[in-house]
Structure 1
Amino acid sequence: MARTIPEGTLVVVADGGSARVFTNVGSAQQLTLKQEGELRLQDISETGISGQGPAGAVPKDMSIAQLNEATFAKQVAEQLNEDALNNRYAHLLLVADPTTLGRIRPLLHKETQARLLGDIAKDLANAPLADIQRSLAG
């Protein structure tokens, strides 16, 4: 069954180190994504991104890469929350690999959750635009 993605829907396609942000500039019947921007994992260090850490408790055996991925997921969630609270989008579709999606979901504000049309546990972060559109339209 094809999902309905209204015009203007914010589509975020993320993995542990990057997120591509799209808007559906087509109609609900004909998905047409336009890339608006890209978020990248930045300032990776021993202490995490820009001295930040992920949300919640950090397991002692977590690698630097895992720590940074969790911190990036927190930053993506914070940006989505800020944009929802400032009414910058009406609808949101979140696409991420299962691990990243699992890190973002619990951090979403109730206002963000209210705008969330759905989430898809699939790694499309490095996929060509045509593949992303085909995957979402189906």
Structure 2
Amino acid sequence: MKIPEGTLVVVADGGGARVFRNVGDERTPALKQEALLELVNMNDDGPAGTMPAESSGMQIDEATFAKQLAQGLNDGALKNSYRHLVLMADPQTLGRIRPLLHSETGERLLAEVAKTFTNAPLEDIERALA
């Protein structure tokens, strides 16, 4: 996959996300971390849509974080903060984020990688993109 210079690469799971920018070229990605995101204001916010009554507190927190992450990506797309986006997340988190993405965000999405890389070394993430 080709990842243009400046592409936003978000590596997430249900509890947090690492946000990188590709400072390399298309064929040889080199990521620089820009942010580390975590769930904020979980008592003031909640998950998007409805959750089954038997959902655990952790499941609700993960769904809430996915919603907050999607909102941040949508905001960035609408403000032209990035031109290209790659989402790397476990399948469950991707499934929670995907329906919340604005069409503008979707147009910038180059690829989705359904695998957990949040605790992976930077070299492993870059290798997965190459």
TM-score (norm 2): 0.97
Aligned length: 130
The reply to whether residue 64 of structure 1 matches residue 62 of structure 2 is no
Determine the structure 2 residue equivalent to 1:37: 35
Amino acid at match of 1:124: F
Q: Which runs of 5+ in 2 are unaligned?
A: none
TM-score (norm 1): 0.92
Deviations 1:31-90 (A, max 9, x none): 1000001101245xxxxx132110001110000000000000000000000000000000
Counterparts of 2:30 and 2:88, CA distance in 1:
16
- Structure 1 residue runs of 4 or more that deviate by more than 6 Å after TM superposition: none
SS in 1 for 2:106: helix
Counterparts of 1:118 and 1:129, CA distance in 2:
18
Determine the structure 2 residue equivalent to 1:46: none
Per the TM alignment, residue 135 of structure 1 is displaced from its structure 2 partner at its CA by 1.4
Determine the structure 1 residue equivalent to 2:83: 90
Counterparts of 1:50 and 1:8, CA distance in 2:
34
Q: Which runs of 5+ in 1 are unaligned?
A: 44-48
Per the TM alignment, residue 30 of structure 1 is displaced from its structure 2 partner at its CA by 1.2
Amino acid at match of 1:28: E
Determine the structure 2 residue equivalent to 1:12: 10
The reply to whether residue 53 of structure 1 matches residue 46 of structure 2 is yes
Counterparts of 1:58 and 1:51, CA distance in 2:
16
SS in 2 for 1:50: coil
Computed over aligned residues only, the root mean square deviation of the Cα atoms, in angstroms, reads 0.8
Give the percent of matched residue pairs that are identical in Structure 1 and Structure 2.
61
Determine the structure 2 residue equivalent to 1:74: 67
